[in-house]
Amino acid sequence: MPYARSAAAAVAFAAVAGLATACGSSSPNTGPSTSTTCTASSTSTTITISNNAVCPQNITVPRGTQVTFMNSDSRTHEMTSDPHPEHTDCPEINAVGNLVPGQNRQTSNLVVARRCGFHDHIAFEVKALQGSITIQ
């Protein structure tokens, strides 16, 4: 039954192609339909920016950690400490600052046990670009 077999293969290929198309969307959508599943662990020390969102949004790290922000997006982001626009809560986060696409930078050592909120200073109103680092 060579015909049936190739038909099944064609269906499987179409499904894979459809999936790839859905993932490849790079529209600057800031709505709640962030289909990009944030699978990173909350104990990660790297926060990745893509599709105008940070992932993971909230992490917990031990004291002394430097958190890396990786810009995997197609636009520039400027990661800074809350509150906006003073950025005074956790100045260690301001060491990250401006990240062009493909760039990454670390925070300074986070040595004080507390919760540090951060945001993208360029797009400070975008909730998906806000998050927190809890230092324990």
Q: Is 2 in the site for Cu ion (CB under 5 A)?
A: no
CA-based nearest residue to 51, from 68, 32, 64: 32
According to DSSP, residue 18 is labeled: H
Binding of Cu ion at residue 86 (CB under 5 A)? no
User: Nearer Cβ to Cu ion, position 61 or 79?
Assistant: 79
Min dist. Cβ of residue 87 to Cu ion (A): 6
What's the min distance (Å) between Cβ of 45 and Cu ion? 23
The distance of closest approach from Cβ of residue 82 to Cu ion in the complex, given in angstroms and rounded to an integer, is 8
Which helix (DSSP H) or strand (DSSP E) does residue 50 occupy? strand 46-50
Give the integer Cα–Cα distance in Å for 111 and 4. Answer: 63
| Sign, CA torsion 73/97/116/31 | negative
Please state, as a whole number, how many other Cβ atoms lie within 10 Å of the Cβ of residue 136. 10
d(CA 119, CA 110): 17
When binding is defined by CB under 5 A, the residue of 30, 66, 84, 95 that contacts Cu ion is 84
Kindly identify the residues of this chain, within the stretch 114-133, that bind Cu ion according to CB under 5 A: 121, 124
Q: Which amino acid is at 49?
A: I
The reply to whether 77 sits near Cu ion by the rule CB under 5 A is no
If one asks whether residue 85 binds Cu ion (CB under 5 A), the answer comes out as yes
CB of 33 to Cu ion, least distance (A): 25
Instruction: Note the residues at the interface with Cu ion (CB under 5 A).
Output: 80, 84-85, 121, 124
